[in-house]
Structure 1
Amino acid sequence: MKLELINEPLIEFGNDFLCDDPKMGITIGGFFSLSNQSHRSEIHYSVIGTKGNTELFIDWINNLKSPIESKSEIVINDTLSISDGEIKSFFDDEDNFHEILNENIQNKKLNPDFPGFNKESIFKSEFLNNTSNNISIKNSDIDEIIESKQKKLEKIDLICSIFEGAFVNLAENCINKPDICFIIIPEKIFDKLGSVPFGKQHINFRRKLKSLLISKNFEIPTQFILESTITGNKRQLQDMSMIAWNFVVAQYYKTKNCIPWALTDIDKDSCYIGISFHKILNSENNVLRSSVAQAFNRQGNGLVFIGKQFEWDQAKTKVSSPHLRYDYAKDLVQEILENYILINNHTPSRVVIHKTTDFWNVSDSELFCEAEGFKDGIKNKLGDHTEIDLVTIKSSDFKLLRSVGKYPVPRGLLCKMDESWGVLYSTGYIPYYETYPGVYIPQPLDIKIFEGESTLRNVCREILSLTKMNFNNCSYYDGLPITLRFAKKVGEIIQYLPDGSIPPNKYFYYM
């Protein structure tokens, strides 16, 4: 085993400023979109909620106009793992602009003051609300459903219908189409119906509601806000500066074509595709699967593609991790590249596929020879000259401990097992912060190059770069590359889609 430390990747902001820390980069250079003419100086929003919650939210978001002093150190939530091709998470990330706080320590590098979101600050943008676009829902209607004797699943359907109707009302009658719609979820809904048992699994209220709104194809991104966020009743929400940083970055990205920051250390002609799997909600069996593919470029422009359902029966295959048939893999990657080229107006010369299970070729299975399917699909679309890297990314049980010091090994440490296999610490000690901003002992990633010309060092360097592209917050890093980070959430959302609906392929709709 050979140890190697990969330098922290730099990201690019406005005015060509390069930095490794998103908050410092924005504070000095501003959003990347300021440099490529995609910046929006006004973000118009609407609100769906009870009259009381709507008023509270407008007051809450108006407070973000002013500077906010930081008070506590935040801890990055990196509690993610990969098992049998599925992304596992210990926490729900719908409201991901919250961070876990440690109130006993203050670190201004880790949690800097928030400069205020307005046109005069470094953000050069502001939130605006046309009250005519706000849609009210009645508290009495919600109470009547919650207090009724109907089954919980029926209650979820009825409450979802209320919000769905309000969203349709907004889309069909809005004065001017908003850039984003904030939906305030009363705490009593989340407490009573947030997750309801269904066979061996659970119905997630927010995932189901998100799928219903996405299926309308109104091209209005949504952000769910828990009532406790704006009332301040959650203990971990005491530090408004970090909430503000995370919130404005996420909403700015959801405003079409706006880019908070971009990668600078990776190939601009490369298309990065992540492929993972999720179980289909089914009360009778546990064998249906679907693939979730996400494609990104260096600016974080993301596309989502949902593969057809397929059966993966471990009792028959003797393997728990799913694999794809040749035609399935070929058709999926061709669809991805066709849309990627259309939307980005750019044809990549290199395609990198990150997959959460091992790649099978014809020597492993003549039926599930997915590797050949991916390669043939790429070459059909882009030509034989295209560079292709097939990379497996899994969680690793490998542990490397330091003999001295109170912190774990540094982020970016690569334990090279051989030329194509290594263990990468995507989380760990951050020299810039002079601390480890995580909750648990860092769990590294197992990286294997199944096929490709790229070196292990370069593949891991790109993976490390892609962990900095989670625009759902303003964190220094994430535990997984963005190609795989939200696969679990997307997979859960799409399984609730009404039959026959065609979901949008823009990544920000699923955030």
Structure 2
Amino acid sequence: MKVKVLAEPSLEFGKGTHICPRVGIERLGVYDKKDEFRKSELRLGIVGRGEGVDKLDVWLEKCRGGILPKESKLANLFKGFGGFTDSHGFHSKLLSSPAYTRSLQKSSLNKIRSINSREDRVNAAVELFYDQIRFLTENRAVDVIICVIPDDLFESITKNTSRNSEDNDQIEVYMEHNFRRMIKAKTMHLGVPLQLVIENTIDDTKAPLGQQDDATKAWNFSTALYYKGNRTVPWRLVENTYKPRSCYVGIGFYKSRDGETISTSLAQVFDEFGHGVILRGSPVALDKTDRRPYMSKEQAFELLSNALSEYDKALMQMPARVVIHKSSQFRGCEIEGFNKALDSKSIRSRDYVSITESDIRLFGENNYPPKRGTLLQLSESEGLLYTRGFVDFYKTYPGMYIPSPLRIIAHENDSSLEELCEELLGLTKMNWNNTQLDGRLPITIECAKKVGEIMKYVDENEKPQVSYSFYM
């Protein structure tokens, strides 16, 4: 048993490397600026009521011009936003226009709020937005569509007002996500990613207590828009030239809407650039003892074979090494299926890594929790890794609750546990929905969770989009 603090992984940008996404973009420019065919303008479609559209116009103008940092001694944590401009940083423009805007009628919104059943209100809201989103995708050349959700509509689809409904005990967060999941699933076939915004989050006069400061919101909002609109990457992990070309696959599970079946949520295939391909698996069985889902040998073989085929189509070559991240323990039959798939493609190097929660906690040297990157190695194949914790660059722990480590178990591993944890720590920084450098889960597992939430609403006969931009 030994403890070691792993170094914070560096990211590569347009003109160099840095550990922080915000500093890297601001000083060095987005990574894909090197691509001469990248978009230097993002055309935004907008759907919302008149007042919401006006608020979004003001917010977009603030993002274009830049936002001063929040007053704080923690300058690296609360960094000002330098603006979304073509002269530095994102090296791109945000274009919006009344011709690319679709307004929601107050009468339609009032009609939805008067519906008694929450489920019916959510369905009606999805249809209302879908009609306008479809118009924009079919009649305007838009890169991303921003949906501005009115505050009162948001309240009506996240709270139950029916006295006879059976979902009184459902928590609001779950219900809130239903609308988000449903609208993203329903519009997926239209081929344009969505960005959902609630009115009060861009309204300084109504911003809820505890909300992020404006500069932080602008960083996250703008980076997500850039990734979704460009379909390229604002940063990438620094490539280790001494390692074989690796492919990272994240596998999770999700329940069907009726709760009757559980399926593999996806295989998210990433290369060093962070490019990914999303696939949907088949229904799986539950273990009779612990009721946990697992794949048969045949299902594991089929899922990984399909993932590798998609990788080959995208990059026109097979990886030299495959790393599989799974949100549960590996079963013997799953390992057999994965090995069969890799052997059939003559891929020799492989690492199977389960990433789960742990109840064990470590104590830091002071009043702060252990440093991010702290690895407690329990054996050659098992350890506890802190992906959230005290961050030297921030000079604080930037979280609200006591962080817990991830339990990492390596199966059939050709790499050492420390090497696998170093990779995993780097993959926590590849989520373009968040520009804070200390993500909790690697993008492989984070994406598995996000996609599973939405995939249950995608019709079985419909081919889901392969880009993460449609799920984040």
Does TM-score exceed 0.5, indicating one fold? yes
Q: Report what 2:456 is aligned to.
A: 495
Shift in Å at residue 489 of structure 1? 2.4
Q: Report what 1:242 is aligned to.
A: 216
- Is 1:388 paired with 2:340? no
1:206 and 1:490 map into 2 onto residues whose CA distance is 12
Percent of residue pairs bearing the same amino acid type: 32
- Is 1:226 paired with 2:201? no
Correspondence 1:242-391 to 2 at 5 A: 242-266=216-240, 267=243, 269-282=245-258, 288-312=262-286, 317-361=288-332, 369-380=333-344, 382-383=345-346, 385-391=347-353
CA change 1:453–1:200 in 2 (3 A) is farther
**Aligned mate of 2:121, from 142, 155, 169:** 155
Shift in Å at residue 120 of structure 1? 2.2
Shift in Å at residue 67 of structure 1? 2.4
Q: Is the Cα–Cα contact under 8 Å of residues 42 and 230 in structure 2 kept in the other structure? A: no
Instruction: Give the secondary-structure state (helix, strand or coil) at the position aligned to 2:372.
Output: coil
- Is 1:65 paired with 2:64? yes
- Relative contact order, CA 8 A, sep 6+: which one is greater? 1
1:188 and 1:2 map into 2 onto residues whose CA distance is 54
2:291 and 2:125 map into 1 onto residues whose CA distance is 37
Instruction: Give the secondary-structure state (helix, strand or coil) at the position aligned to 2:210.
Output: helix
Shift in Å at residue 311 of structure 1? 4.2
Q: Deviations over 1:9-61 (max 9, x none)?
A: 1111112x111111111122110011243542211111011122122212211
Shift in Å at residue 207 of structure 1? 1.2
Q: Deviations over 1:434-460 (max 9, x none)?
A: 111111112101111111210111100
- Is 1:405 paired with 2:366? yes
How many residue pairs were aligned? 458
Shift in Å at residue 344 of structure 1? 3.3
2:200 and 2:169 map into 1 onto residues whose CA distance is 30
Q: Deviations over 1:270-291 (max 9, x none)?
A: 0001111122222xx5654443
- Is 1:142 paired with 2:109? yes
Shift in Å at residue 508 of structure 1? 0.9
1:257 and 1:154 map into 2 onto residues whose CA distance is 34
**Aligned mate of 2:130, from 164, 169, 172:** 164
Q: Is the Cα–Cα contact under 8 Å of residues 195 and 205 in structure 1 kept in the other structure? A: no
Q: Is the Cα–Cα contact under 8 Å of residues 490 and 510 in structure 1 kept in the other structure? A: yes
Q: Deviations over 1:84-128 (max 9, x none)?
A: xxxxxxxxxxxxxxxxxxxxx541111111111111233321100
Q: Which runs of 4+ in 1 moved over 4 A?
A: 195-203, 265-268
Q: Is the Cα–Cα contact under 8 Å of residues 11 and 265 in structure 1 kept in the other structure? A: no
- Is 1:50 paired with 2:49? yes
CA change 1:319–1:124 in 2 (3 A) is same
CA change 1:226–1:199 in 2 (3 A) is closer
Shift in Å at residue 265 of structure 1? 5.0
Shift in Å at residue 497 of structure 1? 1.9
CA change 1:457–1:38 in 2 (3 A) is farther
Instruction: Give the secondary-structure state (helix, strand or coil) at the position aligned to 2:409.
Output: strand
Instruction: Give the secondary-structure state (helix, strand or coil) at the position aligned to 2:78.
Output: coil
- Is 1:178 paired with 2:142? yes
How much is the aligned-residue C-alpha RMSD, in angstroms?
Answer: 2.0
- Is 1:434 paired with 2:395? yes
Structure 1 residues 237-246 or 423-432, which shifts more? 237-246
Q: Is the Cα–Cα contact under 8 Å of residues 38 and 259 in structure 1 kept in the other structure? A: no
Q: Deviations over 1:292-321 (max 9, x none)?
A: 322211221122222122342x5xx11232
2:262 and 2:88 map into 1 onto residues whose CA distance is 50
CA change 1:505–1:200 in 2 (3 A) is farther
Shift in Å at residue 236 of structure 1? 3.4
CA change 1:344–1:45 in 2 (3 A) is farther
CA change 1:268–1:451 in 2 (3 A) is closer
Q: Report what 1:127 is aligned to.
A: 94
Correspondence 1:18-57 to 2 at 5 A: 18-37=17-36, 39-57=38-56
CA change 1:195–1:450 in 2 (3 A) is farther
1:477 and 1:386 map into 2 onto residues whose CA distance is 32
Q: Deviations over 1:373-407 (max 9, x none)?
A: 11212232x31x431111111111111113x4221
Instruction: Give the secondary-structure state (helix, strand or coil) at the position aligned to 2:108.
Output: helix
Shift in Å at residue 426 of structure 1? 1.0
Instruction: Give the secondary-structure state (helix, strand or coil) at the position aligned to 1:53.
Output: helix
Q: Is the Cα–Cα contact under 8 Å of residues 42 and 125 in structure 1 kept in the other structure? A: yes
Q: Deviations over 1:158-200 (max 9, x none)?
A: 22111111111112222xx111010111112221212666699
Q: Is the Cα–Cα contact under 8 Å of residues 265 and 455 in structure 2 kept in the other structure? A: no
Relative to the length of structure 2, the TM-score reads 0.92
CA change 1:191–1:200 in 2 (3 A) is closer
2:460 and 2:354 map into 1 onto residues whose CA distance is 32
1:46 and 1:219 map into 2 onto residues whose CA distance is 13
Q: Is the Cα–Cα contact under 8 Å of residues 23 and 474 in structure 1 kept in the other structure? A: yes
Relative to the length of structure 1, the TM-score reads 0.85
